């Protein structure tokens, strides 16, 4: 039997385990990336491992999230990352060089290689045929040190694309259609592979938009074949030598097949507050809007912004709309500046932002109260924009630009003849904002500079024989990491200070949570399905750890967050019977008797509810490796013990 594209890459990188669905597999990692909001922790963890030099083929540290410098914190963190990178063999992409995923795709990604990044949208690299996955900072630190990255061998989903997109219909509409079909939890435990005749009609940036937002399916990753289109893209980036051909075997076996006729798609939007709440622009109607934001790692490529510029050229943004545009990379920004398109955007009234994540992570541009904001981004979780009652719709760049002019939702198909932007034969190549590391024999000359905001990683202890705790929080389904550990301009500067950032943990759901958890000393959180969906931020595990959370018991977990809990030494439990969700209430006194022995033996874990006088059964489903991590009190302890 033949292999899928992902199975071929996995087979070439398999360090341990069997390639059968559900088994724990260890993969050799060729490339890593970090960004600044997760990077400080990842490098502190890397330092704690005592490995002098990264062992990957290429590791890059980006500054793209925490670029709003309203105090010393972010600037200090940038300086820390720059110096630690220089010392340990990591390339440093300076602030201003662009969003990690966009730059990685343009300058460093290689088909057939493995990449993990401390950011959930790392699967963007699937657009050029990489096996690219989001991971917690600790996992990235381990991979930089030459360790394997462990995942559960996923199921394979094939999305068969036929036909060709109609004028004004965009790659964003393709992934919105997939989200509509699969939902935000439909991809958990799966790799989504695109194939079929329609693939060759999509450019690499379009493919990258689709794989980027595969993160919102909860998928392990998404991937496209590496074909002539990929070759042309890499050639235009001066990297033709990096190209290899990659396709699935004709007799590859997929667990699920989805068929999408590209020519039948129409412009769509993900409505508040979930990326899978998809409606057509027609259905939404000519609803008034307040803001439009164009950019983010999903839709900020040269082709995206050239189309936006063509739509805006010679026109003026509607007076009641604020339009901001953040190009994805210095390459994109510079090309727009040189060919005059930037002038068209400025003349139309766009507010040009630096090439960084910006509004996507609540770093400025929060909409007005209850404001309707159309964004070309990938997440519209409640409150993420920085305005608690903001109404965020995720749309294509074409829909965004057309609507910015109209002041209402506007189907770009009403704009008349489509503007066709050809793929450039050569991109503008200038890597002067990427600082290479120092030679290995000179690493001792580099002093790592740490600001006062950088506090050590919270201490963890091996698992106790029995846990006695109270229920400090009970939440519902689809809790995102933006609920657990909110971001935004005020909180993000605290990413390297766990004690300080913990004060904001879960405050979106319950302002009293941090104080209550601390008072309880040891506690348990109860949740519903798809708990921890969204970002890779390990802070969503480290803050609960700092606040004394010992176990999280839910109906089901999102992949990266579950790993982050294990890495932090927090027990990830699932109800054996989902109905038992109702058996625990806030402040109930709980005991997990002989929990250590149960983990060691791999048996079910009983939770006795002292308050109610009842007991329920939970599952932990640990592999030998994750069992050892939990027993050691987290991945850092485990790695130290095993090195
Ligand atoms: C996000 O889009 O939520 C982020 C900010 O990029 C996160 C990483 C983080 O929280 O630092 C992600 O997607 O992993
Ligand atoms: Fe940055 Fe937004 Fe992409 Fe996250 S989703 S990496 S915040 S642009």
Give yes or no: residues 205 and 310 share one domain.
no
Residue 425 lies in a domain: no
Q: Dihedrals φ, ψ of 22, to 5°?
A: 95, -15
Q: How many CA atoms lie within 13 A of 203 on its CB side?
A: 21
> Which is it for the CA torsion 68, 74, 79, 81, positive or negative?
negative
- Choose one of 216, 233, 264: the last residue of a domain: 264
Whether residue 239 lies in the annotated active site: no
Token pair 């393709």: residue: 174
Residue 442 lies in a domain: no
Q: What is the CATH number of the domain that holds 196?
A: 3.30.499.10
Among the bound ligands, name the one nearest to the CA of residue 381.
1
- Domain with 47, as residue range(s), is 5-264
Integer Cα distance of 176 and 216 in angstroms: 10
pLDDT at position 459? 80
Integer Cα distance of 91 and 80 in angstroms: 14
Q: Report the nearest-CA residue for atom 2 of ligand 1.
A: 535
Whether residue 120 lies in the annotated active site: no
CA torsion, ordered 392, 394, 398, 403, to nearest 10 deg? -20
Measure 216 CA to ligand 1 centroid, in angstroms.
12
Strand pairing partners for 434? 93
Pick the atom of ligand 1 nearest to 118's CA.
Answer: 14
Pick the atom of ligand 2 nearest to 378's CA.
Answer: 5
Token pair 């405050």: residue: 507
Measure 364 CA to ligand 1 centroid, in angstroms.
16
- Choose one of 244, 264, 284: the last residue of a domain: 264
> Which is it for the CA torsion 532, 535, 541, 546, positive or negative?
negative
Among the bound ligands, name the one nearest to the CA of residue 300.
2
Joined together, the tokens standing for residue 468 give: 């006695």
Please count the other Cβ atoms lying within 10 Å of the Cβ belonging to residue 107. Answer: 21
Contact by Cβ (8 Å): 270, 176: yes
Give yes or no: residues 532 and 509 share one domain.
yes
Measure 545 CA to ligand 1 centroid, in angstroms.
19
Give yes or no: residues 149 and 179 share one domain.
yes
Joined together, the tokens standing for residue 15 give: 């360090």
Q: What is the mean pLDDT of each run of 10 residues along the chain (643 residues)?
A: 97 98 98 98 93 98 97 96 98 98 98 98 98 98 97 98 98 98 97 98 98 98 98 98 98 98 98 98 98 98 98 98 98 98 98 98 97 98 96 98 98 95 97 98 97 86 96 97 96 96 97 98 98 97 97 98 97 98 98 98 98 98 96 92 79
Joined together, the tokens standing for residue 52 give: 């002098």
Give yes or no: residues 400 and 482 share one domain.
no
Give yes or no: residues 337 and 475 share one domain.
no
Give yes or no: residues 114 and 204 share one domain.
yes
Q: What is the CATH number of the domain that holds 544?
A: 3.20.19.10
Integer Cα distance of 374 and 64 in angstroms: 22
CA torsion, ordered 376, 379, 384, 387, to nearest 10 deg? 40
Pick the atom of ligand 1 nearest to 134's CA.
Answer: 14
Give yes or no: residues 321 and 249 share one domain.
no
Measure 331 CA to ligand 1 centroid, in angstroms.
23
Integer Cα distance of 214 and 234 in angstroms: 22
Token pair 């360790």: residue: 147
Joined together, the tokens standing for residue 292 give: 């439009």
Contact by Cβ (8 Å): 372, 389: no
Token pair 């770093």: residue: 363
Give yes or no: residues 211 and 287 share one domain.
no
Residue 321 lies in a domain: yes
Strand, coil or helix: what is 575? strand
Taking CA atoms, 190 is separated from 174, 200, 256, in Å, by 18, 23, 10
Integer Cα distance of 390 and 550 in angstroms: 34
Integer Cα distance of 165 and 418 in angstroms: 12
Residue 113 lies in a domain: yes
Residue 97 lies in a domain: yes
Residue to substitute in 43, 74, 116, 119 for testing ligand 1 pocket (most ligand atoms within 8 angstroms of CB): 119
- Does the beta carbon of 293 lie inside 6 Å of ligand 2? no
Residue 432 lies in a domain: no
Residue 585 lies in a domain: yes
Please count the other Cβ atoms lying within 10 Å of the Cβ belonging to residue 388. Answer: 11
**In whole angstroms, what separates CA 577 from the centre of its chain?**
30
Give yes or no: residues 285 and 235 share one domain.
no
Q: Dihedrals φ, ψ of 235, to 5°?
A: -65, -45
Q: Count Cβ neighbours within 10 Å for each residue of 269-299 and write b for 16 or more, e otherwise.
A: bbbbbbbbbbeebeebeeeebbbbbbbbbbb
Residue 458 lies in a domain: no
Token pair 């510029």: residue: 309
Q: Dihedrals φ, ψ of 74, to 5°?
A: -65, -40
Closest C-alpha to 317, from 402, 396, 404, 376: 404
Give the predicted TM-score (pTM) of the model. Answer: 0.98
Closest C-alpha to 45, from 499, 642, 457, 517: 457
Q: Count Cβ neighbours within 10 Å for each residue of 343-362 and write b for 16 or more, e otherwise.
A: ebbeebbbebbbbbbbbbbb
- Does the beta carbon of 378 lie inside 6 Å of ligand 2? yes
Cα distance from N-terminal residue to C-terminal residue, the chain: 39
Joined together, the tokens standing for residue 517 give: 């958890």
Among the bound ligands, name the one nearest to the CA of residue 537.
1
Give yes or no: residues 406 and 300 share one domain.
yes
Contact by Cβ (8 Å): 176, 277: no
Integer Cα distance of 93 and 107 in angstroms: 11
Pick the atom of ligand 1 nearest to 560's CA.
Answer: 14
- Choose one of 370, 394, 411: the last residue of a domain: 411
Number of structural domains (the chain) is 3
Whether residue 119 lies in the annotated active site: yes
Integer Cα distance of 370 and 393 in angstroms: 13
Contact by Cβ (8 Å): 604, 597: no
- Does the beta carbon of 68 lie inside 6 Å of ligand 2? no
Q: Dihedrals φ, ψ of 29, to 5°?
A: -110, 125
Give yes or no: residues 62 and 210 share one domain.
yes
Of 248, 535, 536, 563, the active-site residue reads: 535
Give yes or no: residues 281 and 260 share one domain.
no
Of 36, 64, 304, 580, the active-site residue reads: 64
């Amino acid at each position: 039997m033949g292999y899928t594209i992902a199975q071929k890459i996995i087979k070439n990188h398999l360090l341990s385990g069997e390639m059968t669905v559900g088994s724990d597999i260890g993969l050799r990692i060729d490339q890593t990336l970090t960004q600044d909001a997760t990077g400080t922790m990842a490098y502190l963890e890397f330092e704690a491992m005592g490995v002098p030099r990264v062992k990957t083929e290429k590791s890059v540290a980006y500054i793209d999230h925490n670029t709003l410098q309203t105090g010393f914190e972010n600037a200090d963190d940038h300086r820390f990352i720059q110096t630690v990178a220089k010392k340990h063999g990591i390339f440093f992409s300076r602030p201003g060089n662009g969003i990690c995923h966009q730059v990685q795709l343009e300058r460093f990604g290689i088909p057939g290689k493995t990449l993990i990044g401390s950011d959930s949208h790392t699967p963007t690299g699937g657009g050029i045929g990489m096996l690219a996955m989001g991971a917690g900072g600790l996992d990235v630190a381990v991979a930089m040190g030459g360790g394997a990255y462990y995942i559960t061998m996923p199921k394979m989903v094939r999305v068969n694309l036929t036909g060709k997109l109609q004028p004004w219909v965009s790659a964003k509409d393709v992934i919105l259609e997939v989200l509509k079909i699969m939902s935000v939890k439909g991809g958990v435990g799966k790799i989504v592979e695109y194939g079929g005749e329609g693939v060759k009609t999509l450019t690499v940036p379009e493919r990258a938009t689709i794989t980027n937002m595969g993160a919102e399916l909860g998928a392990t990753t998404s991937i496209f074949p590496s074909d002539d289109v990929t070759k042309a893209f890499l050639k235009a980036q001066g990297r033709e030598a990096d190209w290899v051909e990659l396709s699935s075997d004709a007799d590859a076996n997929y667990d699920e097949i989805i068929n999408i006729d590209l020519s039948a798609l129409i412009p769509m939007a993900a409505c508040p507050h979930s990326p899978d709440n998809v409606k057509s622009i027609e259905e939404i109607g000519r609803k008034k809007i307040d803001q439009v934001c164009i950019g983010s790692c999903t839709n900020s490529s040269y082709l995206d912004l050239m189309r936006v510029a063509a739509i805006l050229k010679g026109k003026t943004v509607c007076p009641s709309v604020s339009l901001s545009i953040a190009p994805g990379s210095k390459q994109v920004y510079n090309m727009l500046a040189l060919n005059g398109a930037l002038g068209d955007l400025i003349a139309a009234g766009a507010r040009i932002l630096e090439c960084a994540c910006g509004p996507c992570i609540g770093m400025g541009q929060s909409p007005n109260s209850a404001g309707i904001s159309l964004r070309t981004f990938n997440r519209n979780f409640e409150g993420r924009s920085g305005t608690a009652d903001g109404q965020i719709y995720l749309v294509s760049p074409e829909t965004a630009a057309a609507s910015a002019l109209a002041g209402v939702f506007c189907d770009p198909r009403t704009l008349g003849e489509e503007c066709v932007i050809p793929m450039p034969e050569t991109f503008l190549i200038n890597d002067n904002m990427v600082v290479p590391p120092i030679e290995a024999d000179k690493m001792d000359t580099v002093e790592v500079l740490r600001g006062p905001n950088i506090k050590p990683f919270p201490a963890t202890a091996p698992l106790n024989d029995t846990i006695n705790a109270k229920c400090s929080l009970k939440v519902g389904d689809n809790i995102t990491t933006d609920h657990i550990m909110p971001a935004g301009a005020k909180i993000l500067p605290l990413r390297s200070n766990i004690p300080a950032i913990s004060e904001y943990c879960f405050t979106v759901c319950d302002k009293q949570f941090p104080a209550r958890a601390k008072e309880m000393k040891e506690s348990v959180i109860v949740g519903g399905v798809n708990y921890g969906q969204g970002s890779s931020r390990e802070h969503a595990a480290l803050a609960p750890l700092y606040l004394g959370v010992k176990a999280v018991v839910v109906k089901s977990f999102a992949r990266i967050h579950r790993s982050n809990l294990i890495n932090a030494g927090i027990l990830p439990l699932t109800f054996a019977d989902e109905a038992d969700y109702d058996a625990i209430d806030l402040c109930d006194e709980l005991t997990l008797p002989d929990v250590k022995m149960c983990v060691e033996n791999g048996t079910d874990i009983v939770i006795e509810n002292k308050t109610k006088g009842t007991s329920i059964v939970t599952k932990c489903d640990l592999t030998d490796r994750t069992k050892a991590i939990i027993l050691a009190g987290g991945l850092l302890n485990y790695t130290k013990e095993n090195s």
